[in-house]
Chain A
């Protein structure tokens, strides 16, 4: 960028510093602006309408009596408590089961490992409505596992939550584990510690940040899950999310919905705060190896891990097999009739577009969403990875970090309705715009991208950047030669996941879709809501296609990046 050698170091240095600082401010302002316009403003507009609304309001115009009303109901505590405990138990179970999986899939080598990694990722991207239906089919008294008596119990919900989120733990913990310096654990064992003791005292603490990050994400997903709660809860189990949805879409009781939304945001915010604290305390212990040698093969000593993971994988596969079975079952016997049907809109044009067109719509929306999420996520990660010396600056970064996780904790109904009443005037006249779908999806995917890239950037020695800068590299050059290569693997993984998440997104999309642009998950939802074996078979076929595309994307990125780097592959979040 600058051909001339500097005459004097001092002013040039100051200019560089200033440029760098301005760049960082800009990198923070762009995502802030976009999030403010497409997330915070709509949410605040809707929640505000519930509290200020035409009906309520004292002299200040703000009516807080809603809080007393809502919080005073016995139902409120039941719902809030259920939301918290089921999410905590689901997250705990996912972590407990996911750690052995992470060990097997990221610390051991065996044939078909990449395929298995892609396989366990599939559930995460399946539409939750479809997952709920598959679980009910399994557990219903007429189903294959009907004798277990789980239908309509909270266990069915917990199992489905683990099913969906197992991959989050395996991939987050696994990628860190794969790069972890093995020598301290080996040394401990050489000095006589048992493998269990070496794991508990050396490895587990080192994995702390990754486990905390994974646990937080799973907790958030479970606290705000909607489809699973509705289909498997059968109306008996209600969370804050289903209550908000019900009050907003059925009762149009915005006052109650607003209070519940605020409670949900506070709960989520508290959990995020605690998690950030745990992460912060354990982050310095992370010691990564930049070069990772070949992994040992599975040995006899690994049998407990193989056993646990085998059982989990069997449980993951069962609902998927149910789904596959239904997709291959046609009225004329077994075959691909349901898949062939996806090429048509049906003679009666129940669907305005064919399944393949919907897949194309999904894919193009998801590609735009992923590009947007990656851009925002990278900009944010660069800012959040800073470790400023002033305590105030550090604190504001922590707040910023939590701020951008909120889209995972706010109800899709709130966001969807917020879009309607907030984005209705120029320059934000977005109602009915085809871009609204990818924008909504990007709001959901960006926090994931940040959680995947940020740990890598934070673990990087800042002296690398300083050395490059000292040697005369411009800030952009430093970023291109230091930061970009370091985060390239995480970036590729984040891209694949952002794409997959956007591909499967249903909640926000269902509020803003246009019929000729409907996405595959919406089409599936529509087919499922019609009677007839053909419709259900076609819905299952579409779900299988969605799963195959997502697994294919993850598998390809995993393979190509993993092979080139000779390392553990990507995809932590």
Chain B
């Protein structure tokens, strides 16, 4: 986890005085500005930075083919793993990170932004697939675990990873109060858990939407409004974004807020465990999880479909799968992957998650969000 890596690098750093460290930081930062002013062409430096590992491919003489990967702003990969892939396949990968990925792909489908796209999930995938954004591809690596999460029979999309949106719980708060932790969505509307939960708006936050979908999966398309009326009466607090609700309102984060229950990710608890701790201070409420699956897909109209297929295979390869927990806080679909030690210790993927048919989500999502908005936000 990054949390641990920070403390590691902190310990590794030279034993300089704090004052000295700040002075160095400031000096470096001003030097960076001067350097920034001096470099006249960012495009050139960007290319050299991105491509330098791939400029010496194994196949001597042949120019590497270019492939563009369109992804979301949370995409991350170990540069060395990517460079190895580029060298082995004589490719150069350009990564474009975009906000609102699914909609960008739909908008640009006649002249796609790149060859392959990673990061679209089961709450938005249908919109893009129905718009004809993707060209089906069946990877030979599907049987390693991806096929279990297949999107459709054609393999319009290929599952790469999954994660759960779950209510997180602050263990210390409940043990201090001598109150039993809730274990299900039904518990959340009980009087003893009044004013304890903070969530996010389904209209502006992906975790908020996932939690709404969890309640619909639980209470049914006809019953969810009744459940939310009860949840509202029981004092759920809604913020617009995950950042604010988790960092400010949740008592289990460093923000030390006053609500011990928060809608967050199943992978959040390991991030709150201090180094060397035997237990994580937070955990998940098992019966509240909605599973999000992230996919990669070849873009219809890709300039280089062969290379795009290789990128799909790369994302199912053990090297890429192994990096997923640490780099993007998600579980790999490949069951053979070894999870990081703190995940094994602090994060358990719930056995049961709430599922909802992607086609149903695609059909009714906007109406649900609108109805939810009217009901909860007023």
Contacts and interface: CB of A to CB of B under 8 A. Distances in A.
A235 B4 contact: no
Contacts of A536: 247, 253-255
A156 to B, nearest CB: 12
Contacts of B102: 252
Interface in B1-45: 1-10, 13, 18, 21-22, 25-26, 28-30, 32-33, 35-37, 39, 42-43, 45
B240 A434 contact: no
A540 B240 CA distance: 20
Interface stretch (B83-91, B175-183, B265-273, B296-304): B265-273
Interface residues of A, number: 95
Interface stretch (B107-115, B212-220, B311-319): B107-115
B246 A511 contact: no
Given A336-B18, A435-B43, A531-B271, A140 B249 contact: yes
B275 A530 contact: no
B29 A548 contact: yes
A530 B100 contact: no
B29 A514 contact: no
A360 B107 contact: no
Interface string A317-360: 00000000010011110011111111110111111100010011
Contact of A231 (B22, B243, B246): B243
A140 B39 CA distance: 44
Given A236-B377, A344-B5, A133 B74 contact: no
| Chain B contact surface mostly | helix
Contacts of A531: 246, 253, 264-265, 267-268, 271-272, 329
B25 A530 contact: no
B103 A248 contact: yes
Contacts of A133: 243-244, 247-248
B106 interface: yes
A249 B366 CA distance: 12
Interface stretch (A117-125, A364-372, A392-400): A364-372
Contacts of A340: 9-10, 13, 21, 25
A531 B329 CA distance: 10
| Chain A contact surface mostly | helix
B201 A337 contact: no
A417 B241 contact: no
B98 interface: yes
A530 B21 contact: no
Nearest to B17: A336
Contacts of B25: 336, 339-340, 342, 545
A359 B95 contact: no
Contact of B103 (A252, A432, A510): A252
A361 B96 CA distance: 16
B275 A331 contact: yes
Interface of A: 129, 132-133, 136-137, 140-143, 230-231, 233-236, 242, 246, 248-253, 326, 329-332, 335-344, 346-352, 356, 359-368, 416-417, 420-421, 424-425, 431-435, 437-438, 510-511, 513-518, 522, 525-526, 528-538, 545, 548-549, 552
Given A336-B22, A344-B5, A533-B254, 13 more contacts: A235-B240, A250-B203, A250-B204, A250-B369, A252-B103, A331-B3, A347-B2, A364-B36, A432-B68, A528-B243, A530-B329, A531-B253, A536-B255
